[in-house]
Chains A and B, each alone.
Chain A
Amino acid sequence: MPAVSKGDGMRGLAVFISDIRNCKSKEAEIKRINKELANIRSKFKGDKALDGYSKKKYVCKLLFIFLLGHDIDFGHMEAVNLLSSNKYTEKQIGYLFISVLVNSNSELIRLINNAIKNDLSSRNPTFMCLALHCIANVGSREMAEAFASEIPRILVAGDTMDSVKQSAALCLLRLYKTSPDLVLMGEWTSRVVHLLNDQHMGVVTAAISLITCLSQKNPDEFKTCVSLAVSRLSRIVSSASTDLQDYTYYFVPAPWLSCKLLRLLQCYPPPEDGAVKGRLVECLETILNKAQEPPKSKKVQHSNAKNAILFEAISLIIHYDSEPNLLVRACNQLGQFLQHRETNLRYLALESMCTLASSEFSHEAVKTHIETVINALKTERDVSVRQRAADLLYAMCDRSNAKQIVAEMLSYLETADYSIREEMVLKVAILAEKYAVDYSWYVDTILNLIRIAGDYVSEEVWYRVIQIVINRDDVQGYAAKTVFEALQAPACHENMVKVGGYILGEFGNLIAGDPRSSPLVQFNLLHSKFHLCSVPTRALLLSAYIKFINLFPETKATIQEVLRCDSQIRNSDVELQQRAVEYLKLSSIASTDVLATVLEEMPPFPERESSILAKLKKKKGPGAVSVTELDDSKREGGELNGGGDRGPDTASTPSPSADLLGIRSAAPVGTAQTNAGSLLVDVFSESGPAAPSAAVNDDGFLRFVCKNNGVLFENQLLQIGIKSEYRQNLGRMYLFYGNKTSVQFASFSTTVSCPGEMQSHILSDKPVEPLVEGGAQIQQVLNIECLTDFSDAPLLNIKFRYGGALQNLTLKLPVTINKFFQPTEMSSNDFFQRWKQLSQPQQEAQKIFKANHSMDTEVLKAKLLGLGTALLDNIDPNPENYVCAGVIQTKSQQIGCLLRLEPNAQAQVEETHTHTVTAKCVRSHCL
């Protein structure tokens, strides 16, 4: 047997362990274990009662087997029996077994709790400590229920031994962390605070952990701890290195307690009492001074303990952020550590400086270390240290040094470790955007980023560069020129092709004057990359091609040729095939005007939080974002375009509702009338005065003008269905959100807003559930009241997290004024009498538009009925015409509305007249 078994050695156990160690193979080990399990089982089942020692030995063997990674399904009862033994070592093994293999077997928990109860009331301090340890180790709800009220009593009782107090404090802390509701505050809490004054350093050390946790949750109740902590700290800091006897660790007085006191103070703002604050500042200065003294020992433990206190003090100084003098001293101290020969100290100095960089008092002082930090990024051998250096560079970056830092980070990226590349890319992208003075620098930086680390450039990054180029017309020409040049490289990254395709598709015309980048050259360049790209990129390129046809009519033939070839028009990928077919058709049948409208330049994106920043925050966790970034986060927002496959070009792609779009190209007619003062307010036209922002998805919206139920929106992730009913000026809408994935949506939230003045009043019953399980559907009810007439539909904003990515989606809710129509029947005479009465210019509107579909009578009738009006027969002398009447019910008034639709089958033109009693009215539409 190789090793001595110390203590009350169990020889059988040692033999077994050494057998296991001698096993040559996994199989042999399993065989030996099974043999032992059989042996133990037979002993436990045997007739002969086992003595305590044997029981302990076998239980210990089972424990060993379990810790090797094997399942144990018996022996729990024997372990519980050991708990009631009077021999300490047997009890100890029993408790160890229970702690490690706790089982929610209710019968056993009852027995275990019984044994614990006995030990707690035994007045034997070692037994009490064992029991408390067991509770703390298991920390289950059942135990909290049984003992949460008992332990505070033990903790503050006058006759409790110090060692038991220590265990009780930490045991209570564990229970408070797992079941805070069961630990009731009471008279004991004030007495716990006074444990900070206890003579026994061990008791203070244990109690302060409990006090810190409690003060975080109930700061007011515990605020007396601040002055107590300051005086305790001051006594320790000013004590000689030997005063505290065994609590001095390598010549450092009570390092653990000091750090815990400093951490407790970080739960509170600076003390208000001048004397207390003065004393504390003195302590902090002493700690900073001590760092300059020669070490009392060469041992690393000495310097570690001393510096641990120093770093904790610096954290407190940063937390207060109110003493410029201390902040600058802290920064200088960390500056020294940046060049220390101990890697650990360099790491911690970089980490700590990151938080210091966000304080206005020390930001400048941190910046003076830029060269050292850049050097660390280049020369540190350890990747975790380099990572910290990159973090610090990011934190200390501002307008004055952005170009230098971004350049250094870019050059580091070329050799950076794979594990940190993605984060580096995000950081470079954010800094480049945040501190861009001229946007050509920004474009250069991002394109460099794609060139150097294309694989790590996430969608958010290239979406963002496109957003910015689209929103800033001063950079569009430069961007087009630069991507064009970048695409010349024989092997360029696919992300470059995406950006290139998008930007040339939008702004290729800006560089087309140069014969070296003529339209055809641009197209050939893009198309030379086509075959090497993935499906989504190809889809994007196809959209760029159709945009080219619009920008450069001379490329039409070439591009149609490409679209027409089998590899496009018969592509096995549905998306590609559909795009090829639709674009080909569009380019051949639509007039130049229609093309120009459909393929118009993208409108500016609404300003919102950078999606990249959101991604970085997500990556680093909420706590890791430095304060400088938080300034930006007040602009709420999320990822671009909800992450759909089609990316940012959805708007230029004929969508399933495109057949309804014909009317939009005729919109100038409507606009002219608006200008003419007829106040025909076009609910649907994007050219109206309040054109909806590009981010609002209103594909589904038009379909709901004439119907109340159906699917409003659908993408790969989410389907939104609607059921609605209206009566007079009231309506109720049921929204059904269906999760189409198998993954849960987290933080699901919806908000409804009414643009412009409050014209329709929307009350939501209650917020939706924040979690939508995969495949599940949740429902939301909206109550709607129409206050007065309105033209803008309410907006529904939906946010949720899917696989960590924030999805943000805004839809127009199909609440249109016609929903509040009450149909009205009337005779032909009445109709024409009223029609004539309503002939003031602001009371009538007329519109002539081209029909998109064949004018089928039944379809037309259905649509007019869907509009909510009554369809009146035998009124108009011309039987081809349709005549409708209705009253729009709002809270403030009732608005009568008459409508006549005059189809002209030959010209495929229709004319509508509407006459209403008030100025505004619905436009009839999309027939």
Chain B
Amino acid sequence: MRFLLLFSRQGKLRLQKWFTSMSDREKKKIIRDMTTMVLARQARSCNFLQWKDLKIIYKRYASLYFCLAVESQENELLALEIIHRYVELLDKYFGNVCELDIIFNFEKAYFILDEFLMGGEIQETSKQIVNRSIEASDIPRYLKLAFTINNC
């Protein structure tokens, strides 16, 4: 995998994950290309696009587009399911995840992604295990929440 982008129907970027190093200029160009290309697609088109030497796999969930770029030898259908599994993980964590959850808890969205993928490869496909390790890192959160409310 090369990168994963989440953006809204209006083209607002919500999450960007780069699995290879790239300059900021390249990143900006790719973001622009992807949003225009994917948003221009008609409904019920196929979920795959050829872009340069990469395969772009995208899928819309409610108001958010998930757009994943993989190398040409990778499997498109599985890439689609990687997106789906990530959505499931977000959903499990946030409970009925919506775009706002990802905006306000962007750091969590990154952490969950990191538990699932690493360096552009799948690290763990088991939903239970991924969730367990995310939850584990969240244990003190209730204490923190109380603390936060008192302090702000």
Contact = CB atoms under 8 A, between A and B. Distances in A.
B107 interface: yes
B139 to A, nearest CB: 9
A375 to B, nearest CB: 17
A382 B48 CA distance: 10
Contacts of A137: 114, 119
A452 interface: no
A88 B137 contact: yes
A166 B123 contact: yes
A136 B49 contact: no
Contacts of A126: 133, 136-137
Interface string A11-23: 1101101100100
A301 B59 CA distance: 13
Interface string B8-27: 00000100100011000000
Contacts of A136: 118-119
A202 interface: yes
Interface string B120-134: 111111111100010
Contacts of B110: 96
Interface in B69-87: 72-73, 75-78, 80-81, 84-85
B62 interface: no
A93 B136 contact: no
Given A6-B101, A140-B21, A384-B49, A249 B125 contact: yes
Contact of A621 (B53, B73, B141): B53
B77 A304 contact: yes
A3 interface: yes
B80 A304 contact: yes
B118 A133 contact: yes
B75 A311 contact: yes
A384 B50 contact: yes
A862 B91 CA distance: 90
Interface stretch (A183-191, A342-350, A632-640): A342-350
A15 B133 CA distance: 28
Contacts of A5: 104-105
Contact of B148 (A10, A174, A206): A10
Given A136-B119, A167-B123, A307 B77 contact: yes
Interface in A248-301: 249, 254-257, 259, 263, 301
Contact of B81 (A2, A170, A304, A384): A304
Nearest to B143: A8
A171 B49 CA distance: 29
A343 B44 contact: yes
A825 B21 CA distance: 72
A319 to B, nearest CB: 11
Given A3-B100, A53-B147, A621-B53, A381 B42 contact: yes
B60 interface: no
B145 A256 contact: no
Contacts of A381: 42, 44-45
Nearest to B134: A7
A561 B141 CA distance: 93
Contact of A93 (B50, B76, B107): B107
A7 B105 contact: yes
B77 to A, nearest CB: 4
A48 to B, nearest CB: 14
A11 B103 CA distance: 14
B85 to A, nearest CB: 8
B8 to A, nearest CB: 12
B48 to A, nearest CB: 6
A6 B108 contact: yes
B101 A3 contact: yes
Contacts of B104: 3-5, 14, 17-18
B38 to A, nearest CB: 12
B121 to A, nearest CB: 4
Contacts of A15: 152
Interface of A: 2-12, 14-15, 17-18, 21, 53, 60, 63-64, 67, 69, 87-89, 92-93, 96, 126, 129, 132-133, 136-140, 163, 166-167, 170-171, 173-174, 177-178, 201-202, 205-206, 209, 246-247, 249, 254-257, 259, 263, 301, 304-305, 307-308, 311-312, 343-344, 346-348, 381-382, 384-385, 387, 621, 623
Given A173-B119, A174-B119, A178-B21, 4 more contacts: A18-B104, A167-B123, A171-B119, A263-B73
